[in-house]
Chain A
Amino acid sequence: MLFLVQDGITNGAIYALLGLALVLVFAVTRVILIPQGEFVTYGALTYASVASGQMPGTAKLALAMGIVAFALDLYAARRALHVRPIARAFLTNIVLPGAVLALTSWVVSRQPPVGVSIALSLVIVAAIGLFLYRIVFQPLAHTSVLVLLIASVACHLALQGLGLLFFGAEGQRGPAVLSTAFTAGTLRFTGQSIAVYAITIAFIVGLWLFFGLTLYGKALRATAVNRLGARLVGIRTTLSGQIAFLLASVIGALSGILIVPITTLYYDTGFLIGLKGFIAAIIGGLVSYPLTAVAALVVGTVEAFSSFYASNFKEVIVFTLLIPVLLLRSLAAPAVEEEKD
Chain B
Amino acid sequence: MSLKDIVAPFSVWKRAFEKPYTNRKPLDTRPGAPRYRGFHINAVDTCIGCGTCEEICQNEAIDLVPVKETRHGDSGLRPKIDYGRCCWCALCVDICPTGSLGMSNEYIWIDDDPEVFRFIPGYDEKSWNHAELGYRRAEGYDLLEGQRVGMPMLSFEESRKSFVEMVQGFSAEQAKAEADRCIACGICVATCPAHMKVPEYIKAIRDDNMAEGLKIVYNANPLPASCGRVCSHSCEYVCAVKHKGEALSIRWLKRYIIDQIYLGDYQKILDEGEPDNGKRVAVIGSGPGGLSAAYYLRLLGYQVTVYDANERAGGMLRYGIPEYRLPYDQVDKDIEYIRSLGVDIRQNTRIGADVDFEVVYRDHDALFFSTGLTDPYGLDIAGEDLPGVLSGLGMLDDVTEGRKPDLGASVVVVGGGNVAMDAARTSRRYNAEVTILYRRREEDMPADDEEIHEAQGEGCLLITQAIPLRIEKGDTTRLKLFWGRAEMVSDGPGRRPKPVLIEGSEEVIACDTVIPAIGQAADYSFLPEETAARLTFKRGYVEVNEFHQTAEEKIFAGGDIANPKRDAISAIANGHSAAKGIDIYLRLLQKERATF
Is B truly associated with A? no
